[in-house]
Amino acid sequence: MQHVSFEIDAELPGRMGDAELCAPTEHELLELCGQHLALLDASRAKCTHARWKRATSLTTSWSVHCASGEAVHVVLKRYSGRKAELLAARELRPGHLALAELRLAAWRFPSDRELPGLERLFDLHRTTRLLASLRSLDPWVARWNTSSVEVLRYKPEHRAVLRLDLDLRRGDKHGEKSRGFLAARALRPDDAAGRIERRLALEDTGGPGPWPRFLGGQARTGLLFEAWIPGATCARDDFRLAGEAGALLRELHARELPASVRDSADDSRSISDLFDGDESLSSLARRIQAPPLAARSWIHGDVHPDQLSICSPAGVTHLLDLDGLDAGDPHRDLGCWIADHLSRDRSLSLEDAAGLLLAGYAHAVYQYLLRLLVSFELWVLAAGALRRLEPGAQARAGQLLERALDLVATRTRGA
């Protein structure tokens, strides 16, 4: 598994009144690996992911390199309450440990307490049997012993995205041979059932669209499968395909929304308390609220440039990552993209950031509602900088919140 490491501000929670949940240093992490995870020759480590939940927990993921050349992915979760003590009293799965005295749990990838399907995916014998039972590959059959799996993304206790490279036969083992890819997603089982239901409902309202075709899932293990979209994804800060993104969103939003699909999104995103502990940020954040919205269409739920894939050589663009697919207001998707663009370039006006996207969308929008949602999404991005322990997160959060308030104030003044 390839990891993208990044710097974190390990002391950020402490400066914001949550001292129990400061992140470990690299030295502390290596000591713990040697003493408790049987990685005696661990020599260096880089953080690949951080998620802070104020007064609750801090999860950090690490790519650990050993003197032997082995690379291991390790996750540490530090708790502010008694959760580690309760976990230590249980019989834990292999690869997991809980240290009550340090108030933390740790595990080695691919084991994950909340993602039971993740480790199972690496057992390709079981995975190919599941694909056969779901009829995901018909009329092909995958041979497990000559197939492989590659991890693309992993957010501990949240989700993992993997690519299956499958050795295929048409019918039995003597049939026509081929090679094919599938995308597999490991989710929490309590989330997976609703996501499977929504993906099936979308497929039933118009057939395939410019997004990965859903190939089935199993709620009890949290596993979902979809067609692999070949091509290159855009960089997270590359907004040049805003027009194409607008057209893709228009097609998604135009799909019929079945009455059975209800909005399950939590607009608060459980992040409002991240601003507590910094009086200035908290004061700004309290002035921003999500506007009340009606569930009027399908929405993607998390639209950013890296959710676009360009298939070569035809240059067809697809919309990826439908994990947030839900019923909602279409302005939410538009606001998410525009806020992301504004956050990356402080010199842009709202009109500059929205222009290409809305031109591609080519459908009427309510400008005031869109402005409110851009403001709210800037609030979400501000909280995200804190949650990920980004260096300079407090200053960046303040800038984003001020920009969010300025958008609403500008409209109020009649501009």
- pLDDT of 409: 85
pLDDT at 269: 52
pLDDT at site 91: 77
Q: Which portions of the chain are predicted below pLDDT 50?
A: 413-415
Token pair, residue 392, equals 């300079």
Q: What's residue 210's pLDDT?
A: 93
Residue by residue, what is the 3-state secondary structure of the chain? CCCCCCCCCCCHHHHCCCHHHCCCCHHHHHHHHHHHCCCCCEEEEEEEEEEEECCCEEEEEEEEEECCCCEEEEEEEEECCCHHHHHHCCCCCCCEEEEHHHCEEEEECCCCCCCHHHHHHCCHHHHHHHHHHHCCCCCEEEEEEEEEEEEEEEECCCEEEEEEEEEEEECCCCCCEEEEEEEEEEECHHHHHHHHHHHHHHHHCCCCCCCCCEEEEECCCCEEEEECCCCEECCCCCCCCHHHHHHHHHHHHHCCCCCCCCCCCCCCCCCHHHHCCCHHHHHHHCCCCCCCCCCCEEECCCCCHHHEEEECCCCEEEECCCCCCEEECHHHHHHHHHHHHHHHCCCCCHHHHHHHHHHHHCCCCCHHHHHHHHHHHHHHHHHHHHHCCCCCHHHHHHHHHHHHHHHHHHHHCCC
- What pLDDT does residue 415 have? 41
